[in-house]
Structure 1
Amino acid sequence: MSFDSKPVANAPALHEQGDENPPVLERIALRVTAWCEKWYPDAFVFVSLTVLAVALGALAAGASPRIVAVSFGNGFWSLIPFTMQMAMVAITGYVIASSPPIARLVTRAARVPASGRSAVAYVAFLSVLTSLLHWAISLVFAGLLVRELARRTDLRMDYRAAGAAAYLGIGATWAMGLSSSAAQLQANPASIPPSLLPITGVIPFSETLFLWQSLTIALALVVTSTLIAWWTAPGPTRAKTATELGIVLDTIDDALPPRERPGEWLEYSPALILVLVALGGGWLVNEFASKNWLVAISGLNTYNLIFLMLGMLLHWRPKRFLRAVSKAVPVTAGVLIQFPLYGAIASMLTSAKSATGASLTHYLSTLFVSIASTDTFALVMGVYSAVLGFFVPSGGGKWVIEAPYVMQAANALHVHLGWAVQIYNAAEALPNLINPFWMLPLLGILGLKARDLVGFTFAQFVCGTLLVLTMLWALAPTLVYHAPVMP
């Protein structure tokens, strides 16, 4: 499946043709985005700088250079199972969303909206809703839907606003759903780094994603994101269609190349797919029959196997399935190279101790306790996670960095540990709305630049931040602290 969208030469720039005076929020967002595109380094640079900062902090806390180096090495590979699991989340989402049946579903879904503004709100609603199930499916599905809507000659839809709406799932709700890496990690004892387990224990989904407080925030974000998309979508006179922006919406060629030699016949036959799905399905049936469904679905291996088997079925032929996997692999590059560094950072935070037995985590958690109380912890941690998320766009992986000291502080202040995870989840996603890092797969599908979207996502960022921080603070007193539960 090809997503090439080629801009036409001399395509009109953003805000030309009577759009010289965009709203104040949009102008600010465009300046922020222009600065980011010019000066913002790759996320790997920020993670490497964090490694340096933590190493220096551990030395300043009294740990010897040898202990710091040993802690770095011991932690480097501690997240390998979790790294592979999160890479599979990205791959399976892309594979499913790019399958022929989903392409046909996208075509039918694109017939629903009756106006350009309703089309933008429609994309936003589907994006934030599907991201609760799987962030990668949301990103690709919504991007393909925008392209299909843009082909409708009877619909004057702003292509930039629709593209921004397609991105809302990754910036508003995904971390509150089943693919939340923080909630998944905390629910799986085998995924939790040994240095973190004594601090947090195992926290099941019932204490994170499925708290009524968490569901309330998720619902509020779905509704608010959809409404803001409607309110900020340009009307017919100001809308810029894909054609006006110089975007050529190529027809997606989904046909398999013809078989060239007899040895390829199994690659073009569904027989092996059916065998693999039958075996995987048998395991899944046993898993759900022998466990509570909430416990079963909270296992990352179960979650990934469900979507992997579904992806195989939707592509039907091994050849088509493998083509989709190969196109999905580049999306995982950041996960594969950054997550080992997160593991090393977590290890240095907790294991690089001074002669008195104090680690950097001890000093950081003490700092958190000194500036926050039980009542203000949600607000302080929410702001901190959002700010750090702008500089370290991790897709949730930086939870391993924050968890040792923020959870130790939560224990000290008797803050519900599952709610602390959800504070991180709700706040950590927000910076994605103004950071171009996670936009890249979507931009490749749409043929746009980050600056084309951020004018619209900035309004979502401002409103979402106010909503999330207020709700995190207001709902915190409704939860009761429980000590960490060991496996």
Structure 2
Amino acid sequence: MIHVVSRFFTSVVNRFLPDPLVFAVLLTMITFLLGIWLTPNDSLAMVKMWGDGFWNLLGFSMQMALVLVTGHALASSGPVRKGMTSLASIASTPKQGVMLVVFMSSVACIINWGFGLVVGAMFAREVARRIPGSDYRLLIASAYMGFLTWHGGLSASVPLVAATKGNPMEKICGIIPISDTIFANYNIFITVSLVIMLPLLCRMMMPKAQDVVAIDPALLQEDAHSTQKKLGPNATWAERMEESPLLSVIVAAFGALYLGMYFKNNGFNLNINTVNLMFLTAGILLHKTPMAYARAINAAARGTAGIMIQFPFYAGIQIMMEHSGLGGIITNWFVNVATKETFPIMAFFSSGLINFAVPSGGGHWVIQGPFIMPAAQALGADLGKAAMAIAYGEAWMNMAQPFWALPALAIAGLGVRDIMGYCVTSLLFSSVIFLVGLHFF
């Protein structure tokens, strides 16, 4: 049955889902029109909001571009590729391959979402290279499906912000400790269930042999020495400096020293900047010389085009949703019909709907928190579960929103239509796990 469902959604997505850039433009138009229709703002006010917010994600766009290029460069180094090859050898059949990829990706996303996005896609490429007959689309989709676990893990933005003094909701609902969110029984149930069930789901989505879309393993081969340059006896001083391992060791030492001090002072608190520094430090060391690393980065940078052009559109959409009050109106549609028992589920679905326009955990907390949390207090609902319902809805609807798939697709060399049918299938079946956890635990 699951195979039939995945084939159906794959067919629908291939026919109707536009390119992610066109998708972002269409969402801009829909948000603009809804803002005029449902809020007191006129067209000029909505355009002003869009323009004011259009460049708000520049810093984040750069962070995501660096996640992609530093992760790609690290994974292309000889030692890391050998390690992934050894790990990929655990699987010997295409079905085992997709199960292993989604398991590794989901565990990595629990540790850190940026780490999981990049490592999952890199590992999927390695499995495709090693196992003939693998469906390349499903492998990359499996890597992205692991992203469902990120908001139950150690880098989850909503529960971490809710537990931080001075966050926007502190005056409304106080500080919500992570013992009530990340380490609560319902979150442990949901996260562990996803880690266990996603491999089984991916196995059942495996297409029949005649429908497999494989890729020539030779196309995934990378010359381990392609970034290295041998110097001749007449090399200049400048060329010798460019290819000097000593400079890479010095940079790596700086990075390692800083990270050691950071973790000593902050505990194992990974964020996107520390992950990027870890990737860069390890990558420049493993590539041995500064210019070898620069060549690896140059090869990886070609995949950042989607991030550069699409993220500003989502920044504009987010500000229109936030400043017009449209996000609050949509949230209240769900909240106003909720009871104490159904409140987390309604908050979950409202978050999923808003995720189409605001695919950001932190953005959800800003837009939905002022409506969800006071309503939870008034109904006597669990505040930790209310906050996590916002987080889960965002993570869940990512399976139908191509925003976060861009880094994985860039690494894989695929388009969004290649994987979204499988991802929408995982959206459908994972909803059962989220709803059971929110309602019965």
Q: TM-score, normalized by length of structure 1? A: 0.72
- Report the counterpart of residue 228 of structure 1 in structure 2: 201
Taking structure 1 as reference, are residues 99 and 466 closer, same or farther at Cα in structure 2, changes over 3 Å only? same
Taking structure 1 as reference, are residues 181 and 270 closer, same or farther at Cα in structure 2, changes over 3 Å only? farther
The separation in 2 between residues aligned to 1:305 and 1:298, in whole angstroms, is 11
Deviations 1:236-293 (A, max 9, x none): x5563625xx7752421342253675324444334344334434433443344344x2
Determine which of 299, 319, 330 is the counterpart of 2:291. Answer: 319
The separation in 2 between residues aligned to 1:166 and 1:239, in whole angstroms, is 20
- Report the counterpart of residue 182 of structure 2 in structure 1: 209
Residue 30 of structure 1 pairs with residue 6 of structure 2: no
Taking structure 1 as reference, are residues 59 and 448 closer, same or farther at Cα in structure 2, changes over 3 Å only? closer
Taking structure 1 as reference, are residues 334 and 297 closer, same or farther at Cα in structure 2, changes over 3 Å only? farther
The separation in 1 between residues aligned to 2:11 and 2:309, in whole angstroms, is 26
C-alpha contact (below 8 Å) 1:369/1:412 kept by paired residues: no
The separation in 2 between residues aligned to 1:51 and 1:431, in whole angstroms, is 17
- Report the counterpart of residue 480 of structure 1 in structure 2: none
- Report the counterpart of residue 342 of structure 2 in structure 1: 376
Determine which of 126, 141, 144 is the counterpart of 1:148. Answer: 126
Taking structure 1 as reference, are residues 44 and 314 closer, same or farther at Cα in structure 2, changes over 3 Å only? farther
- Counterpart residue identity of residue 249, structure 1: L
Instruction: Find the residue that maps to 2:111 and give its secondary structure.
Output: coil
Deviations 1:306-349 (A, max 9, x none): 44434443444332433444525446426752564366346515
Determine which of 219, 239, 245 is the counterpart of 1:249. Answer: 219
C-alpha contact (below 8 Å) 1:434/1:454 kept by paired residues: yes
Gaps in structure 2 of 5+ consecutive residues = none
Taking structure 1 as reference, are residues 139 and 71 closer, same or farther at Cα in structure 2, changes over 3 Å only? closer
C-alpha contact (below 8 Å) 1:120/1:161 kept by paired residues: yes
Residue 268 of structure 1 pairs with residue 243 of structure 2: yes
The separation in 2 between residues aligned to 1:200 and 1:77, in whole angstroms, is 31
Taking structure 1 as reference, are residues 161 and 113 closer, same or farther at Cα in structure 2, changes over 3 Å only? same
The separation in 2 between residues aligned to 1:132 and 1:394, in whole angstroms, is 18
C-alpha contact (below 8 Å) 2:112/2:270 kept by paired residues: no
- Report the counterpart of residue 319 of structure 2 in structure 1: 344
Residue 131 of structure 1 pairs with residue 109 of structure 2: yes
RMSD over aligned Cα, in angstroms? 4.1
Q: How far did 1:444 drift?
A: 4.6
C-alpha contact (below 8 Å) 1:186/1:203 kept by paired residues: yes
Higher helix share: 2
Residue 396 of structure 1 pairs with residue 368 of structure 2: no
The separation in 2 between residues aligned to 1:83 and 1:200, in whole angstroms, is 31
The separation in 2 between residues aligned to 1:215 and 1:405, in whole angstroms, is 26
The separation in 2 between residues aligned to 1:123 and 1:320, in whole angstroms, is 29
- Report the counterpart of residue 103 of structure 1 in structure 2: 81
- Counterpart residue identity of residue 149, structure 1: V
- Report the counterpart of residue 428 of structure 2 in structure 1: 462
Residue 162 of structure 1 pairs with residue 139 of structure 2: yes
Q: How far did 1:204 drift?
A: 5.7
The separation in 2 between residues aligned to 1:225 and 1:448, in whole angstroms, is 22
C-alpha contact (below 8 Å) 2:345/2:435 kept by paired residues: yes
C-alpha contact (below 8 Å) 1:361/1:404 kept by paired residues: no
Determine which of 177, 182, 189 is the counterpart of 2:153. Answer: 177
Taking structure 1 as reference, are residues 73 and 240 closer, same or farther at Cα in structure 2, changes over 3 Å only? closer
The separation in 2 between residues aligned to 1:459 and 1:71, in whole angstroms, is 35
Taking structure 1 as reference, are residues 110 and 378 closer, same or farther at Cα in structure 2, changes over 3 Å only? same
Taking structure 1 as reference, are residues 224 and 275 closer, same or farther at Cα in structure 2, changes over 3 Å only? same
Taking structure 1 as reference, are residues 160 and 77 closer, same or farther at Cα in structure 2, changes over 3 Å only? closer
Instruction: Give identity over the alignment, percent.
Output: 29
The separation in 2 between residues aligned to 1:228 and 1:396, in whole angstroms, is 25
Q: How far did 1:474 drift?
A: 2.0
- Report the counterpart of residue 372 of structure 2 in structure 1: 406
Q: TM-score, normalized by length of structure 2? A: 0.78
Deviates most, 22-31 or 73-82: 73-82
- Report the counterpart of residue 14 of structure 1 in structure 2: none
The separation in 1 between residues aligned to 2:44 and 2:103, in whole angstroms, is 52
Deviates most, 370-379 or 428-437: 428-437
The separation in 2 between residues aligned to 1:442 and 1:362, in whole angstroms, is 32
C-alpha contact (below 8 Å) 2:31/2:357 kept by paired residues: no
Task: Figure out how many residues of one structure are paired with residues of the other and give that number.
Answer: 432
- Counterpart residue identity of residue 391, structure 2: N
Instruction: Find the residue that maps to 2:281 and give its secondary structure.
Output: helix
- Counterpart residue identity of residue 126, structure 2: E
